[in-house]
Amino acid sequence: MTALFAKRALLQEGWRNDVRLEIDGLAIASVTIDTKAKPGDARVDSLLPALANLHSHAFQRAMAGMTERRGLSTDSFWTWRDLMYRFLDVLTPEDIEAIAALAFMEMQEQGFAAVAEFHYVHHQKAGMRYSNVAELSQRIIAAAKATGIGLTHLPVLYARGGLDNAALAGGQLRFGNSVEELLALRDNAVHAIKQQLSADSRIGVAPHSLRAVTQQQLIEIAKACTDGPIHIHVAEQAREVEDVLKATGKHPVRLLFDACDVNANWCLIHATHLDASEIRDMAQSRAVAGLCPITEANLGDGTFAAVDFLAHAGTFGIGTDSNICITAAGELAQLEYSQRLLHRQRNVLATSNGSTGQFLWHGAAKGGAQALQRNCGAISPGLLADLVAIDSDNETLGGLSSGQLLDGLVFAGCEAHVTDLWSAGRHCVKEGRHVARDAIAKTYRKALAGLTARM
């Protein structure tokens, strides 16, 4: 049994002072309020439920800064994608493991205790198969083990080059699988997770997008994988919406809902360009809106209709997607700021007479837990001990009351202020640094040097 004492903690009913937690293995065993610390207790300042990162492509962390140069033509998501394909052509299994470990470590140092890894790089260059079909999934699993982060692994089905059923080509060849191949890969990954990771780990599946799978494949993979979360990119780009509409006569989310029973097991990533009926039906389905505000801004995707979605009691969470800037608080700030720019108002997403930062944190904690099918999202007995401690005794946060603390963290922090983080009771960040930072960073630097030489 591990115990920690917090000067204050954000519980489901709000902030409470002098809170003592006991952690039994992976989960919170007890929460006592208005008490005193006991000898041997770990002591922290302000304790929050850590967030779950619901969408990551870990390998793209090593691309950060490589695509911010304007070309001769107008840059867009599609020109960025071409650069990404060329980058991943030179990645080895060792590179992918090293990059993922660095990204997962940085997520924990920034307040994420768990991650849903949307993993679509399965094969060698030109689509040649590894002798172990789950070689690269096992590299992701190894990175999760090295960092202690909670993993929901999402092997991706990517079966065609576009809505015209074009064959996969170029960088896409590393992604390609039939439904049968993907299910075999997933079974292999299930075994590896059971062998290497703790019981809080999960596995789901991810049909990549409506352009990358046929409607029949979408139905088949959803029926075959009812025991875990299902994530899909949908309506991220205006061009994608136009292409789906031209090919099928339907908008993307409408096409998805007509094909599958979209429910609380689903997470719809981005969902940027929806009509009013799609927004309503998505919210009422209880599927999570998987928002990645920093990446969506970086790629010029557009702005999610958060106000309308929340008006229908929709559930949202946040992800770091391309991992160009890994920050839990920063994703929440970008989400709110995108709405302020769109509506030309302030404090757009908060409920009436409430803290915007606190609303966003609670919402993302709830939605992330659902999207990962992870028993977390709050500080409460029986839930996983996914916890993050922040230091409020500094120049930025020091003058704020408890009710203002998350507003300061999200909108004025400019840095995480994380002192400690527990992923399912694993004390992975201490005094602001991941416990394995030096070794992970050293391995990453070596991999990056080799990667740079091959590019």
- E strands present in 122-265: 150-157, 202-203, 206-207, 230-234
275 given a catalytic annotation: no
**How large is the C-alpha radius of gyration of the chain?**
21
Q: What is the dihedral of CA 318, 213, 75, 305, to 10 degrees?
A: -40
Beta bridge partners of 209: none
Q: Distance between CA 122 and CA 361 in Å, rounded?
A: 34
Q: Distance between CA 274 and CA 234 in Å, rounded?
A: 10
Which residues make Cβ contacts (< 8 Å) with residue 161, sequence separation at least 6? 167, 168, 169, 172, 212
Site of tokens 């800064």 = 65
Q: Distance between CA 124 and CA 212 in Å, rounded?
A: 19
270 given a catalytic annotation: yes
Given the residues 55, 57, 231, 270, select the one marked as catalytic: 270
Phi/psi at 416 (5° precision) = -75, -35
Token pair, residue 332, equals 């929440």
Given the residues 45, 95, 321, 391, select the one marked as catalytic: 321
Which residues make Cβ contacts (< 8 Å) with residue 92, sequence separation at least 6? 450
Residues marked as catalytic: 270, 321
